[in-house]
Amino acid sequence: MRLLHVKNFTLHTYYEDDAPPFAILSHTWLREDEEVSLASLLEPSNSDSMSWRDLPGAQKIIYLCKQAADDGLEYAWMDTCCIDKTNSVELGEAINSMFRWYQQSKTCYAYLIDVDEELGKKMTQSRWWNRAWTLQELVAPTVVHFYDKHWRPLGSKANLTQLVSSRSGIDHETLKQPDTMYVKSIAHRMSWAAHREATRLEDQAYSLLGIFDVNLSMQYGEGSTAFMRLQEKIMNKTNDQTLFAW
């Protein structure tokens, strides 16, 4: 996995088991051309192309790294710039590993870019709650801290358990002890994703791999077949008949 050094924004590659402590970001994407990609982060600063710092998504990286440094961490991870999405093999490995990376993080920062408490844009109204990928990003880490668009703290998963449970539909036990999700029924876990959306249809299935502890090859373009493949993987792993409710 690649990790971003919080002081100089350089990327460092580690085997998963040897990775140093790191913070991780949960967020909703801007337009793809507004986010800082791996390629734009690696672009030499003296080149004629636009610096990554000029992109709208750069503020997320800067906020992430500053907060991680304040929390005593040297490294951070963010999906936009720590995965080479032009490499299908790497992308597939990352998607199958991502749940574990959120689990292994020292802390997760959930950046709610559309929330501004001063203007009355409340935390519970954020689109973050409706996106497919943010489900695992909420469940997997033990520690999750929420921030508004100006990176003002809103609270944590631990001290906002009632609000988070009510808004996400995830039970208190799972929020406090993520590993307990695996004793919950398939239908119970599927219900957490019922009202979540993804830009690409396949991601509605791929984003659930960690929730059901399965692996799946990435085949973008397969559409709804991805969800059927997910169901088949789950069926081969369990005899829980509640799977067929979905």
pLDDT per position as a tens digit, 178-224: 999 999 999 999 999 999 999 999 999 999 999 999 999 999 999 99
Query: Does residue 17 form part of some domain?
Result: yes
Assigned domain for 228 exists: no
pTM equals 0.94
Total Cβ atoms within 10 A of residue 37 = 19
pLDDT for 128? 98
Would residue 76 count as lying in a domain?
yes
What is the per-residue pLDDT for 87?
96
Ranges of the chain with pLDDT below 70: 45-50, 244-246
Six-digit token string for 137: 């990003």
Give domain status of residue 82, yes or no: yes
Is residue 15 assigned to a domain? yes
Inside any domain, residue 7:
yes
Contact criterion met (CB below 8 Å) for 189 and 181: yes
Q: Structurally, how many domains does the chain consist of?
A: 1
Residue 211 lies in a domain: no
Contact present, 108 and 24 (Cβ < 8 Å): yes
Domain that holds residue 150: 2-170
